[in-house]
Every structure is written in structure tokens, then in C-alpha cells.
């Protein structure tokens, strides 16, 4: 089994189960007595909505929900040494327009906050439930874009540090989540290809919610529609198995905790 990375990014098209999978993976690592946090982004633009960054323990795992304005304020405060000035800057129309209009700027702020959390606690492993598909590509390439825009200064130096972490195969790993359907698989392959072009870290595909492993011994007893679905999934997986890191069976659980429990046994393969 591989040594755990410090940052795991789960992404994929909406509806493939990446949130449940990312939380289950967080629990898997937590049960190994590792310090782990499940991370999400609360908003994508300044002024969209503003709450506060949440850092709580729910159902046995640590969950951090990052707020963009809080993350931006904290970054500026650290650079300028003034909480008052930082609070003023993030509320100015110019700063809000700058962040909202420049593609990837919000992701740069979020990634900077996450990497700072990792620097503040060298034991902490972060599991990011990332934005879906195209947004994930923008997030990964945002650091490269801003490196080119800011050729010197504090932002350039911080961007270089982010690039160093994000592009370090021993620090970061990306999991693309797919469903066992041809369209979903093709979309996952396209996303993986786009990510591989942008980063040298491992990018692997996990196929989630497969029915056929549960029923392959009883296919003849199934209704025709379910038998057809199981055989269709089996064909897709058999044709592409070498490109799949992990194939996860459908869970019969009726709530999130039960589904996570069903997934735990297979998740060490994702470390």
C-alpha cells in the first residue's frame, strides 16, 4: 500500500457519488489513526453568499467548509499584518470584481488556504471534494495561469509554492469518479486526460456504484431490465479494467453512514 499523500482531490461529473466517496475515504484514513479533514468550498465568488469557514467534527470525521471571503481576508491579513485593512480590502468593489472576473482566482485563494492548513499542521491530510469536471480543470491550472500573470512579488512566490505542492506526486493525488456507463466512463477519461496534461501527479479513475458484482451469481433470477443493466456494466468494466484504479459495488445501504460502511473495505486501494 502506498504512503498516504497530504492532499487527495476527488472530482468527476455531478451525480457520480464523489461526495459520499470522499467522505468515506476520509473515514478510512481517520480509522487508521491519521489526522484527516474532509474539505469543501462553500462558494465560488465573492458576494455570492457569505457565511464563515466551518471546521467541525461530524459523525466521527473532521469537516472543513471554506468560505471564499474568509480565506481571502486571512491571506491578505497574513501578508499585510493587519486584520482591519484586510477586512476593508475584501469588501472593496475593485477586489470583488477582480476575484470574480479572473477565471481561477477563487480557486487560487482556496488552494492557498488549504496548503496553509497543511503547513500549519504537518500531520494533516486533506481530502478535497472538488468542483465537478470543468471546474476541476480550471482549479488545477489556476496556479499556472497566475504564475504567468504575476512574474514577481508575493503572489508569484506563493503561486510557486502552490505549484510545488500540487505538482508533487508524493504530496497530491487526484481521483476521478465515474459511474459504470459508457457516457460517464468517456467523460471520466476526458477529465483524466485533461488533468494529466496539467499536472504530473497520479490521476486515477474509480468506477462507483456497480450493480453486477452483487448479482453476477444470480443473473438468471433477475428481472430482464436489471439483468441487462448488470451485463452492460460488466462489459464496460471488463473492456476497460486496466484503466480503472478501483471498481466499487452498489451499496444496499439506505443512509450515508451505511453506504460509507459498505465502501470502507475497498478504499485502502485509493491511498
Cα–Cα separations (whole angstroms), residue 25 to 28, 29, 125: 5, 6, 11
For residue 181, give its domain range: 7-270
pLDDT tens digits in sequence order for the chain, 271 residues long: 568 999 999 999 888 999 999 999 999 999 999 999 999 998 777 766 666 889 999 989 999 999 998 988 888 888 788 889 888 888 888 888 878 877 677 888 888 888 889 888 999 999 999 877 667 777 777 666 555 555 555 666 666 777 778 889 999 999 999 999 999 999 999 999 999 988 899 999 999 999 888 887 788 888 888 889 889 999 999 999 999 999 999 888 888 888 888 898 899 999 9
Residue 156 lies in a domain: yes
As for how many domains the chain has, the answer is 1
CATH at 92 = 3.40.50.300
Closest CA to 189 of 169, 204, 172: 204
Residue 31 lies in a domain: yes
Residue 1 lies in a domain: no
Closest CA to 202 of 189, 192, 214, 215: 192
Coil, helix or strand at residue 238:
helix
Coil, helix or strand at residue 180:
coil
Q: Classify residue 153 by burial, with Cβ atoms within 10 Å: 0-12, 13-18, 19+.
A: exposed
The rounded distance, in Å, linking the Cα atoms of 63 and 37 is 6
Contacts for 84 with CB less than 8 Å, ≥ 6 apart: none
Residue 30 lies in a domain: yes
pTM over 0.85: yes
Phi and psi at 182, nearest 5°, equal -60, -45
Q: Classify residue 14 by burial, with Cβ atoms within 10 Å: 0-12, 13-18, 19+.
A: exposed
Beta strands 244-249 and 202-210 are parallel
Residue 248 lies in a domain: yes
Residue 2 lies in a domain: no
Amino acid at each position: 500500500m502506498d504512503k498516504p499523500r497530504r492532499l487527495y482531490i476527488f472530482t468527476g461529473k455531478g451525480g457520480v457519488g464523489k461526495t459520499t466517496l470522499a467522505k468515506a475515504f476520509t473515514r478510512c484514513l481517520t480509522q487508521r489513526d491519521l489526522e484527516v479533514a474532509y474539505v469543501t468550498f462553500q462558494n465560488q465568488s465573492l458576494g455570492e453568499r457569505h457565511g464563515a469557514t466551518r471546521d467541525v467534527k461530524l459523525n466521527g470525521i473532521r469537516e472543513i467548509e471554506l468560505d471564499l471571503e474568509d480565506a481571502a481576508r486571512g491571506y491578505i491579513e497574513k501578508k499585510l499584518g493587519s486584520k482591519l485593512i484586510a477586512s476593508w480590502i475584501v469588501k472593496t468593489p475593485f477586489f470583488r470584481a477582480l476575484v470574480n472576473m479572473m477565471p481561477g482566482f477563487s480557486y487560487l485563494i482556496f488552494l492557498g488556504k488549504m496548503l496553509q492548513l497543511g503547513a500549519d499542521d504537518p500531520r494533516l491530510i486533506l481530502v478535497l471534494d472538488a468542483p465537478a469536471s470543468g471546474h476541476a480543470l480550471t482549479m488545477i491550472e489556476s496556479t499556472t495561469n497566475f504564475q504567468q500573470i504575476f512574474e514577481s512579488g508575493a503572489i508569484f512566490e506563493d503561486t510557486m509554492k502552490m505549484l510545488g505542492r500540487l505538482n508533487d506526486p508524493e504530496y497530491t493525488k487526484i481521483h476521478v469518479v465515474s459511474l459504470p456507463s459508457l457516457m460517464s466512463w468517456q467523460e471520466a477519461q476526458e477529465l483524466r486526460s485533461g488533468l494529466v496534461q496539467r499536472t504530473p501527479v497520479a490521476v486515477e479513475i474509480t468506477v462507483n456504484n456497480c450493480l453486477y458484482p452483487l448479482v453476477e451469481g444470480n443473473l438468471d433470477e433477475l428481472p430482464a431490465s436489471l439483468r441487462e443493466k448488470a451485463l452492460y456494466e460488466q462489459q464496460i468494466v471488463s473492456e476497460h479494467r486496466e484503466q480503472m484504479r478501483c471498481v466499487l459495488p452498489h451499496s444496499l445501504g439506505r443512509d450515508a453512514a451505511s453506504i460509507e460502511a459498505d465502501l470502507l473495505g475497498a478504499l485502502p486501494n485509493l491511498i
